[in-house]
Amino acid sequence: MLGVLVGLKEEARIIRRFLPDAPIATSYATSDGAHKAAQRLVHAGATHLLSFGYAGGLSSSVLPGTIIIPDRVIVGKVSYKTDPHLNSRINIDKARTGSILHSSKIIDKVEEKNGLYRKTGCVAVDMESGALASTGLPFSVLRVICDDVNQPLPEAAISGMKNGNIYIKGLVRSLLQDPSQISSLIALGKDVSQAKKSIIDFLEQNPISF
């Protein structure tokens, strides 16, 4: 049985359309939540695991909307290999490969993104894949880039998320404190829309065979 780990409720809604019978656990975009969600999937009887959803770009070679199925997940100094058989089932030949970095926090600054790329060589970053790697079960990662390496994440985008959903109160408060974020928030919104369309198109054109 394939279990799916996502960070946000929107990601869960997307993958549910294509894997209606798979158990799906949400991390709510926290490190602790990711590990707890991974264990819930294990306890539910999952034999294989999939990390699904959005990822941040660390390399200029991956633009918003780029589909990535990495062959390795980097957690600190440890490298975990994704499962080649599961990778083929989620159509790795149709996606960008490379390494993805697991982070315990949101990477929001351009300087930090560039530094992590130079240090690790990873083309993307997320907060869930390392939690799956730590279970010891065969796993794969299917992600879509939602923010450009050269575009900082506005603080409003972070304050505007709570429990895996949009948090209007936090979003508005942040924008009132710093209205200059509006243009970068609009740009991020366009990138996320492109990412969502890309991952849906990919799944429609390349059904997961599990």
CATH code of the domain containing 125? 3.40.50.1580
Looking at the domain assignment, is residue 32 inside a domain?
Answer: yes
How many Å apart are CA 169 and CA 57, to the nearest integer?
A: 27
User: Which residue do the tokens 């809604």 mark?
Assistant: 13
Q: What is the mean pLDDT of residues 34-50?
A: 97
Q: Are strands 72-75 and 161-162 parallel, antiparallel or unpaired?
A: unpaired
Q: How confident is the model at residue 171 (pLDDT cuts 50, 70, 90)?
A: low
User: Does residue 160 sit within a domain?
Assistant: yes
Of 210, 44, 67, nearest to 135 (Cα)? 44
Place of tokens 């656990």: 25
Distance in angstroms between the alpha carbons of the first and the last residue of the chain: 8
Which residue type is seen at 77? K
Q: What is the mean pLDDT of the chain?
A: 90
**Which residue segment(s) compose the domain that 111 sits in?**
2-205
- What's CA 164's distance to the chain center, in Å? 13
How high is the pLDDT of residue 162? 61
- State the pTM of this model: 0.91
Query: Residue 210: inside a domain, yes or no?
Result: no
**What is the pLDDT confidence band of residue 158, given thresholds at 50, 70 and 90?**
low
Per-residue model confidence (pLDDT) at position 210 = 77
146, part of any domain: yes
Indicate whether 8 belongs to any domain. yes
Over 90: is that where the pLDDT of 172 sits?
no
Q: Please indicate whether residue 76 or residue 159 has the higher confidence score (pLDDT).
A: 76
Asked whether the predicted pLDDT for residue 151 surpasses 60, the reply is yes
Residue 57 lies in a domain: yes
Mean pLDDT, rounded, for 25-41: 94
Q: Is 39 exposed, middle or buried (0-12, 13-18, 19+ CB in 10 A)?
A: middle
**Total domains, the chain:** 1
Residue 140 lies in a domain: yes
38 vs 84: CA distance, rounded Å = 20
Taking residues 42-67, report their average pLDDT. Answer: 96
Helix (H, G, I), strand (E, B) or coil at 88: helix
Neighbours of 192 (CB within 10 A): 18
Would you say residue 84 lies in a domain? Answer: yes
Q: Specify the range with the lowest mean pLDDT, choosing from 68-72, 128-132, 168-172.
A: 168-172
**pLDDT tops 60 at residue 174:** no
